[in-house]
Structure 1
Amino acid sequence: MNLHELEKIRELEDNYCKNCKLKKVNRKLYNKSYAHHFCINECSVGLKIKIYGNNL
């Protein structure tokens, strides 16, 4: 397991995802599943997290 990738993922989540207003709005307007899909496939931070995750 590559600790560098895990640390980068943790750092991105802490700095950007925890207080993301788009995530909160999407959850409120749609649902948790939609918000998750948006984060992974549309958000630039989510796309970076996805790349790091694929490297694990």
Structure 2
Amino acid sequence: KEVRKAFALLRSICEASRERTGLPLPELSMGMSGDFAWAIAEGSTMVRIGSSIFGPRG
């Protein structure tokens, strides 16, 4: 799925940024209620799951 590919790309960008800068960059925030499992599988350290907790907006 395209979302998972995007998460993998973001992870690789974050890893490259760590290597280039020497900074720890401990957080990788990606994913929301509908795709948090893929985000975690791809290395996310922070996800937004408000809709799962509080229900849809509106």
Q: Could you say whether these structures have the same fold, taking a TM-score greater than 0.5 normalized by the shorter chain as the test?
A: no
Higher relative contact order, chain-length normalized (CA < 8 Å, sep 6+): 1
| Higher helix proportion | 1
- TM-score of the pair, normalised by structure 1: 0.38
Q: Which is greater in Rg?
A: 2
TM-score, normalisation: structure 2: 0.37
Q: Which has the higher strand share?
A: 2
